[in-house]
Amino acid sequence: MKSGTANHLHLHKVSRSCEGLMTRQPLTDISVARAARVLASRDADLAAILKRFGPPPLWARRPGFSTLVKIILEQQVSLASAASLFARLKKNTSPFHPARMIELGEVHLKSMGLTRQKTAYCLHLSESLREKPRLLRQLSGMNDDEVKAALMEIKGIGSWSADVYLLMVLRRPDIFPATDLALITAVTELKQLSTRPNSNQLLQMAEAWRPYRSVAARMLWQYYLATRGKDAQLAADFRG
């Protein structure tokens, strides 16, 4: 009896371990297309997106400090505005490294157009990465919850920013940034809801899309951009 229980616990641990490894496998164009077909078989609204627009783009971003800075700049502003601000900041901050940003300091960042809050966030990020230079390289070996916790220890990196890094940089398959305004808008329109869902309600709806919530998010972003006639440049800004 004890032996059977021990075997059961061992198999459970092995299963959980394998599941964790699978969720760390980065998405590719092939796996995104495959997951989109699975989602379409479950959800008529996602099926309509797939039929009309095809599989969603991968929208992958490069890992590192630069991408995290851009994600901070994208908080609560339009993609076009954030892209313009990021381009100006990067052009005038050379090399674009944490140490250089700390050296140039608050006055420089504000002169580039950053708000007081985002200036503070970028400097906190720079200081954190100067103290822990290997942090971002270590993220790929962590599970989703560990990555999110590690990123959110940095002031200015909240749930949305950590989710975007997980989804677009690490390309994890089952991430859903439920506070994203474009996702909320897309779901409201597609599902013909009378009121916008809050983040908790949206997360509950997204449970049906596990284990491919990242692909569902890409399909919803694809719908949002396409139905608003967003041009190629904006799509490029979105990709990062």
Q: Give me the DSSP letters along 105-160.
A: HHHHHHHTT--HHHHHHHHHHHHHHHH-TTHHHHGGGS-HHHHHHHHHTSTT--HH
Residues of the chain with CATH 1.10.1670.40: 26-59+175-239
pLDDT at 19: 44
pLDDT at 4: 52
* Average pLDDT of the residues in 14-40: 77
* Average pLDDT of the residues in 191-200: 96
If you classify domain 65-169 with CATH, what class do you get? mainly alpha
Q: Which two tokens stand for residue 233?
A: 């440049």
pLDDT band (50, 70, 90) for residue 23: low
pLDDT at 228: 83
Q: What amino acid is encoded at 108 in this protein? A: H
pLDDT at 79: 86
pLDDT in tens, 29-85: 999 999 999 999 999 999 999 999 999 999 999 999 999 999 999 999 988 899 999
pLDDT at 113: 97
pLDDT at 20: 45
pLDDT at 240: 55
Does residue 13 have a pLDDT over 70?
Answer: no
Residues of the chain with CATH 1.10.340.30: 65-169
pLDDT at 204: 97
pLDDT at 144: 98
The CATH-assigned architecture of domain 26-59+175-239 is: Orthogonal Bundle (1.10)
Cβ neighbours of residue 208 closer than 8 Å, sequence gap 6 or more: 42, 43
pLDDT at 236: 53
Q: What amino acid is encoded at 109 in this protein? A: L
Task: Look at 12-21, 157-166, 172-181, 190-199 and tell me which has the smallest mean pLDDT.
Answer: 12-21
More reliable by pLDDT, 7 or 156: 156
b/e map of 31-52 (b: 16 or more CB within 10 Å)? bbeebbeebbeebebbbebbee
* Average pLDDT of the residues in 121-132: 97
* Average pLDDT of the residues in 132-147: 96
